[in-house]
Amino acid sequence: MRIIRTEDYNSMSRCAAKIMAAQIVLKPDSIFGLATGSTPIGAYKQLIEWYKNGDLDFSLVKTMNLDEYCGLSGDHEQSYRYFMNHQLFNHVNIDINNTDVPNGIADDLQAECERYDGLVKSFGGLDLQLLGIGHNGHIGFNEPNTEFDKNTHVVDLKQSTIDANARFFKSIDDVPKQAITMGNKSIMSAKKILLVASGKEKRDILERALYGPITPEVPASVLQMHNDLTVVCSVE
Ligand code: GLP
């Protein structure tokens, strides 16, 4: 495990973006696992800037996002597809057909989960998986006490996650109660993992995830078992 502690959110974002950019330079057809949430936004902004300066080329890059709310279509402003299009994809030269986000309105959600895992498998695991961490230690939407060997699945969101995400919706009743998420097993199959965390309120959970017991009570603690984990954080 490599831990890079940075001074503030901006330097964390630049550092994470450098690692992602290096991945593209070294392997232009890299397959990224991408994350939503507020933490990665700065890194995405930086990648867009480097693309606009002519320093990065996304034309061969493929992406798969970690998760999506059930019941929201891609044009709903709070869907993760909408987030990714607006925070990154629409601003770089990625082929939108090479970007995948679980379909939260699929008729058969189970089949959608299987499609997703099939793709991850066909890639032989993603090249670089970017992750944030929830206040309760969740990664993707793998809530506390989810088995470590879960593949992509439909999850009932914990009340604490619904509360934390309510800030993005008009009212708490509008927050979806379920999501599709890549499972811990799918996440752990990535060749490299890059975890980003920022803010004092993430300090304790990050410490527990990185140094505490490896337990499903803290989903992110599974990452201690990954052989190529980089953590970039500004949590002091
Ligand atoms: C959501 C996402 C996670 C993300 C988490 C933390 O629940 N499903 O992938 O890591 O929020 O978000 P933030 O970065 O806004 O703290």
Q: What would the pLDDT profile of 42-78 be if each residue is shown by its tens digit? A: 999 999 999 999 999 999 999 999 999 999 999 999 9
Q: pTM to 2 decimals?
A: 0.96
Ligand 1 pocket test, pick from 9, 12, 13, 36 with the greatest ligand atom count within 8 Å of Cβ, gives 36
Nearest to 69 by CA among 111, 44, 114, 37: 37
Domain ranges within the chain, ordered by starting residue: 2-234
176 C-beta closer than 6 A to ligand 1:
no
Q: What is the mean pLDDT of residues 154-170?
A: 91
- Catalytic residue, from 10, 85, 98, 136: name it: 136
Is the CATH code 3.40.50.1360 the one for domain 2-234? yes
Q: Which atom of ligand 1 is nearest to the CA of 133?
A: 10
- Residue 86's H or E segment, with its range, is helix 80-87
List of residues 6+ apart from 66 with CB closer than 8 A: 33, 34, 35, 36, 129, 131, 139, 140, 141, 181, 182, 187
Q: Which atom of ligand 1 is nearest to the CA of 38?
A: 15
Gap between the Cα atoms of 115 and 11, Å rounded? 37
If phi > 0 it is left, if psi is from -120 to 50 it is alpha, else beta; for residue 137 that is: left
- What is the average pLDDT score of the chain? 96
